Structure 1
Amino acid sequence: MRMKTHHGLRTALLCVALAVAGCQTVPKHEAPAGAVLASLPIRTSDTLRIHYLDVGSGMCHVIQCPGADGTVIVDDCGSTDTTHAMGKDEARSFIQDVIKGHPLKVVLTHKDADHVNWIPYVLDTLPSGTSLEQVWAAGDYATYPPDVKTWIRDANKDWGANVRIDGFASSPPLRSGWDNDLQPVPELSCGTAESYVLTVNSGSGSNASSLMLRLAYGGRSAILPGDATGAAQNEAIENTTGHADMLVTDLLEMSHHGAASAGSNSEAWAKATRPKYLLASAGVRYGHPRCESVDHYLDAENARVLAAGKHWLDCGKTQGSERREIENAVYTTGTQGTLVGDIVYSGSGVASVALYCGPDGDPCP
């Protein structure tokens, strides 16, 4: 049996049983807000490390690139609800510490507040030895929140960052479906790892415009799709016609926090990507990830989601939510806390992949 399910009835009965003490909403994981993952192995220069920060209902990735200069990429950073999650002060402290003394690049997948509203705060200054080299963003500059527009403008004017976003000064446009002909994007290079844009500005609406980022290193890969809808995912599939192996990945973050709306996390996308580790940045609101989205990946033809130790998965349904006891490598920030993916490559053979879970940063079950 793939999983056991525990529905809302169990929660209700538990509340009755504990009525004498009062029934309260309990955090889905035990990590104190902003907790440092103390048990994480020390990162070496041959490791591509991706931090999927537990920022609640939002998304914030900090990517430590392999190589001598230790380039860091911040891919989105925002939240609209930090219940039981890291607050923006903790996020700022963490990010400022990680970027200190290293080249920095910023990718904004699209304009939505839960992806970008923390950027002006967590990157209000650059620590000693840090240079901001690139700011790439999907959509049109004019549509971004005012403080984010100001930050982008000042990043270019005061810090000398190269800005690539439609509608900004002399920035060349990112045409609909742009993928750099499936070649690595030099401006977004991640140390000795390669960065690809699978598609950007596909379809109408901010989610469909999401810049879908792929990182490749040592024969392994990770995909960060933002809030990509079915239109964007289909564009990525079309772009890789004849190169379908580019979409098959080791670490896949579910698009749009695991939503099933507008075709996100479709059966076609699950079949195309066949991840080994399936992740979701999701808080306690909105019922993300959706159970049906998770099932698309687990039930996909030739699915590769790894077997794992028993752990809990909280997912949303049309009415209410469900807590499942699963034995598959599916993890969410809302349940497990901050997630950290490592791709380690010694220079020969194929890289190894490991995933660590909050609250302490131990290997995920």
Structure 2
Amino acid sequence: MMKAGCIILLVVGAAVSIPPPDDQLHIYALPVGQGDSTVVQCPKADNGMISIIDMGSSKSTGFSKDDALRYLSGQEIKLIMLTHSDADHINFIQPLLDTYQKDSVPVYHSCQWSRYRISSDKAVPHRVSKCCGIEGCNTELVLCPNSNAVLLVVGSELSNCGRKRNRDSILAIIKYQGVKTLVVGDFEGTKTFIRKYLDCVGHAPNSELQSDIYRLSHHGAWNGLANRREFLAAVDAKYVFSSSGLKSNYKHPRCELYDIYKGRVAVEEKYHEYTCYKKYGGAITYYINDAIYATN
């Protein structure tokens, strides 16, 4: 999918290494199965350096650890952001750092660093403490210095680092040439919890969350907590994508989200398969040109 100089690419399983950079910003969604890994590749003006938002998987389907390391081998890493400490978002980070050729990498994270079980001396941890909204978080990270690509934090630690780790996920917007991509880890919560957050960042149609592209929370879950309708309305995305854990017990992404988005997102020229699960029932594969994607 493409939006004015920003290209989202869902990597297929046969891919061996990240393509060379060009004149556009690329955001790659690695096919790690039940897990998340988002890789931002800068344009040639910044020598194609990359930043990573989450990198992990359960043992269900998709890229293995070795596949992911091979895909990113030799790349210069600007920064790593770990939205929260669930294993399927972080368990490739330690081996990545073990093989990285440079001395250090800044790693931005929510909650206590000890939760992440990363022992590499190359990781320089920076905690993104509890905050809400662009002004409240006051965290703008430069991804591509010569290309004006930045990452804006719009929320972190909203559940005070309690037992429900998903609620403490970092929410961040990648901004490049006026195009915004929202990545939120597994962020979710009750109606009251989400409403309180939206009271801070704004409800539809005037929310700071409003983005062109949205990586569906919690791998495309539809559990009454993630991707609640009021949250989706605030984001108002025209392109959406998620990882896919179709062969796992979680059965993500859920078709209920497809039902919400069809007819509301952009229409692409190319048709593609989109496979999802009903909450009660099996998988359904659609052949669509709606801008809804998964790393199947």
User: Which TM bucket (shorter chain)?
Assistant: 0.7 to 0.9
Deviations 1:134-166 (A, max 9, x none): 21111222333x3x2x23xx235xxxx3x223x
1:181 to 121, 125, 135: 135
Equivalences for residues 264-283 of structure 1 within 5 A? 264-283=226-245
1:293 to 244, 257, 266: 257
Where does the alignment leave 5 or more consecutive residues of structure 2 unmatched? 1-9
2:98 to 114, 121, 124: 124
Q: Which residue of structure 2 lines up, in the alignment, with residue 314 of structure 1? A: 275
CA distance in 2, matches of 1:70, 1:233: 36
Amino acid corresponding to residue 267 of structure 2 in structure 1: L
Contact (CA 8 Å) 1:270, 1:297: kept in 2 or not? Answer: no
CA distance in 1, matches of 2:270, 2:185: 28
Superposition deviation, residue 311 in structure 1: 2.7
Is 1:197 matched with 2:131?
Answer: no
CA distance in 1, matches of 2:47, 2:11: 35
Q: Which residue of structure 2 lines up, in the alignment, with residue 225 of structure 1? A: 184
The TM-score with structure 1 as length reference comes to 0.67
Distance 1:235 1:189, change over 3 A: farther
Q: Which residue of structure 2 lines up, in the alignment, with residue 138 of structure 1? A: 110
Q: Which residue of structure 2 lines up, in the alignment, with residue 363 of structure 1? A: none
Equivalences for residues 42-191 of structure 1 within 5 A? 42-44=20-22, 46-66=23-43, 67-68=45-46, 70-83=48-61, 85-97=62-74, 99=75, 102-127=76-101, 130=102, 132-144=104-116, 146=117, 148=118, 150-151=119-120, 154-156=121-123, 161=124, 163-165=125-127, 174-175=129-130, 177-181=131-135, 185-186=139-140, 188-191=141-144
Contact (CA 8 Å) 1:282, 1:289: kept in 2 or not? Answer: yes
Superposition deviation, residue 310 in structure 1: 3.3
Is 1:209 matched with 2:168?
Answer: yes
Identity of aligned pairs, percent? Answer: 27
Distance 1:306 1:272, change over 3 A: farther
Distance 1:108 1:30, change over 3 A: closer
Contact (CA 8 Å) 2:40, 2:51: kept in 1 or not? Answer: yes
Contact (CA 8 Å) 2:55, 2:88: kept in 1 or not? Answer: yes
Amino acid corresponding to residue 65 of structure 1 in structure 2: C
Equivalences for residues 234-273 of structure 1 within 5 A? 234=195, 237-241=198-202, 244=206, 246-273=208-235
Q: Which residue of structure 1 lines up, in the alignment, with residue 7 of structure 2? A: none
CA distance in 2, matches of 1:37, 1:142: 31
- Partner of 2:165, secondary structure, is coil
Contact (CA 8 Å) 1:274, 1:297: kept in 2 or not? Answer: no
Amino acid corresponding to residue 306 of structure 1 in structure 2: V
Distance 1:70 1:185, change over 3 A: farther
CA distance in 1, matches of 2:269, 2:233: 20
Contact (CA 8 Å) 2:245, 2:253: kept in 1 or not? Answer: no
Contact (CA 8 Å) 1:62, 1:95: kept in 2 or not? Answer: no
Superposition deviation, residue 234 in structure 1: 4.4
Distance 1:278 1:90, change over 3 A: same
Contact (CA 8 Å) 1:198, 1:236: kept in 2 or not? Answer: no
Distance 1:120 1:193, change over 3 A: same
Superposition deviation, residue 90 in structure 1: 1.4
Distance 1:105 1:283, change over 3 A: same
CA distance in 1, matches of 2:114, 2:224: 24
Superposition deviation, residue 78 in structure 1: 0.5
- Partner of 1:86, secondary structure, is coil
Where does the alignment leave 5 or more consecutive residues of structure 1 unmatched? 1-28, 166-172, 335-365
CA distance in 1, matches of 2:49, 2:138: 16
Task: Name the one with the larger helix percent.
Answer: 1
Contact (CA 8 Å) 1:212, 1:228: kept in 2 or not? Answer: yes
Q: Greater relative contact order: 1 or 2 (C-alpha under 8 angstroms, separation 6 or more)? A: 1
